[in-house]
Amino acid sequence: MVIYMIILDLEWNRGYDRTPLEEILQIGAVRLETLGGPIVDTFSIFIHPCVHKKLNQTAKALPELQSALDSPHDFPTALRLFSQWCSGDSVFADWGGDDFEILRQNCAFWKIPAPPAAQLIDLQMAFSLRVGTTQGMALYRAVEYCGIPDSFTFHNALHDAVYTAVVSAWVNQESLTLLALPKEIRRLQGAPDFPPQPERETGPYASLQTALNSRGCRRPLCPLCGEAVWVRRWYSDHPDRYYSDFRCKTHGSFLCRLHLSPTESGQWQGRLSVPEITPALLRDFDHAIHAREIPCKSVKPRKEFRRRYHRRKPASGQ
């Protein structure tokens, strides 16, 4: 059985009034046999806007705005035709992950059910992972990058869906697998090699939570330039072991691991390391992410102690 994929693109108007709705002006879609495969069907419908009285700059600049203004269809009619066209196919993809969300938002506004989606694929993110950037690339830039002739005007929902379909040929299974991973792990995929880093002993701390919040445990160093970076949260699947990713502005993302062990006097001792990123380490990190997230609380400044100290001072002078 062939599982079809529907690539969806929308044009919309974000009004200036208080109704929080990205009012859809056009639904465009293409059906693919497989990612990067031939387009087997297309869909396009313009929708007459009736919620917002004014158009925003982006909507005013749409090349086929007039087709929406002249359209006899309202959103419920357009959605019914679109749902019929989808005919039960429920793997959707779009460029940037917004389109399906906005479709759902409009359905909620009109109180009609959105087409059921078994899977939503953000092809912009998948494409970015494929070509090795962390920034979302604009569709026209991706088209340029792939050397696809820009035969149609952009910002017509059907044209953009066709472009997205053609660009999707560059997305491979590996980038789709990456796409399914937590973003913390994706960020580490492109981490540069670095020399082995010494472990750092920290503590002792009065409690486990104090250790996790402490400056000593939360300041790993970039293994390439030595800059200290704050860790904002820990991930853990084991009371002794904590992981976090951290980002040097110059050298990108790295992973640090914190081992905590109790001392004989009931305190906690830490060992902080920035280990080499291996598939095994990423697997451990993945387990930790799915087990528990522990946000760090900033350590309270020691103002109170200082104030007390100052208050005592004149007394000692008498």
Query: Applying CB under 5 A, which residues contact Zn ion?
Result: 222, 224-225, 248, 250-251
Q: In whole angstroms, how close is the CB of 278 to Zn ion at the nearest point? A: 20
Indicate the residue among 225 and 228 with the shorter CB distance to Zn ion.
225
Smallest separation, CB 226 to Zn ion (Å):
7
Residue 263: CB minimum distance to Zn ion, A: 33
Nearer to Zn ion, 101 or 276 (CB): 276
Residue with smaller CB distance to Zn ion, 148 or 224? 224
CB of 296 to Zn ion, least distance (A): 21
CB of 285 to Zn ion, least distance (A): 20
CA 286 to chain centre: 16
